[in-house]
Amino acid sequence: MKQRFVSVGVAVFLAGCGEIMPMEQGVAPDGGGEPQVRPVARPGEADAAVRPSMRTRTVEEFDTTSAEERQAAERAGQTAQAGGQGRSLGRTIASLGDPARPGLWIETPLVSAAGQGRVIFPSNGKAVELDLIPIDAPRGAGSRMSLAAFRVIEAPLTDLPEVEVYSE
């Protein structure tokens, strides 16, 4: 009888382990230790720049876009602006988005589908070509913009700049 209680107790204990460490997370290659966490790319981010490391502290370290990428995005934005290309979607207040998320992008309620576009910072006339990413929010709710885009248009990182958004 005592063995039966021990067997039932072990079975209950092992069943509870499935709740603590689900099989989907996997285990370390040696069969023990901490579960492995594998990053999953967001749709459209398969070819995006590498995320900064956990030791990252400065703006330059967080912004993983190259100087050439930022210059090309600025040139494309200025060319499109000079040529009057694109359709104005309106103005929005932009806050700094996730600084660890690489690339040139703006998450905004001004678009209903992802696409390419540009942002102009009226205070200095700087423009940048970037990805337009829709968010589920009222049109006037504001937007989140990437660190790299903030740097290209030379907007202060701690401000909430008003920007004009255009679609291609």
Q: What is the pLDDT, as a whole number, of residue 15?
A: 52
Q: Is the pLDDT of residue 42 over 80?
A: no
Same domain, 99 and 30: no
Does residue 21 carry a pLDDT above 80?
A: no
- Sequence-ordered alpha helix ranges (H) in 21-155: 59-62, 67-82, 147-152
Direct distance between the N- and C-terminal alpha carbons of the chain, in angstroms, rounded to an integer: 76
Residues 6 or more apart in contact with residue 131 via CB below 8 angstroms = 44, 103, 104, 105, 106, 114, 115, 116, 117
- Same-domain pairing of 22 and 63: no
Q: How many domains does the chain have?
A: 2
Over the chain, what is the mean pLDDT? 77
User: Is the residue at 51 inside a domain?
Assistant: no
Structure tokens belonging to residue 117: 């576009």
More confident residue, 92 or 14: 92
- What's residue 24's pLDDT? 42
Q: What is the pLDDT of residues 129-166, one digit of tens each?
A: 999 999 999 988 999 999 999 999 999 999 999 999 99
Choose the weakest-confidence range: 32-36, 126-130, 163-167. Answer: 32-36
Residue 54, domain member (yes or no): no
Please tell me the predicted confidence (pLDDT) of residue 62.
76
Domain, as residue range, for 22: 1-38
Q: Cα separation of 108 and 131, whole Å?
A: 10
Going by C-alpha positions, the residue among 79, 163, 87, 71 that lies closest to residue 119 is 163
What six digits make up the tokens of 30?
């040696």
Per-residue pLDDT band for 56 (boundaries 50, 70, 90) equals low
Same domain, 72 and 106: yes
Say yes or no: 28 and 90 in one domain. no
Residue 128 sits in a domain of what CATH number? 2.40.40.10
Q: Are residues 136 and 77 in the same domain?
A: yes
Q: What integer pLDDT is reported at residue 3 of this predicted model? A: 59
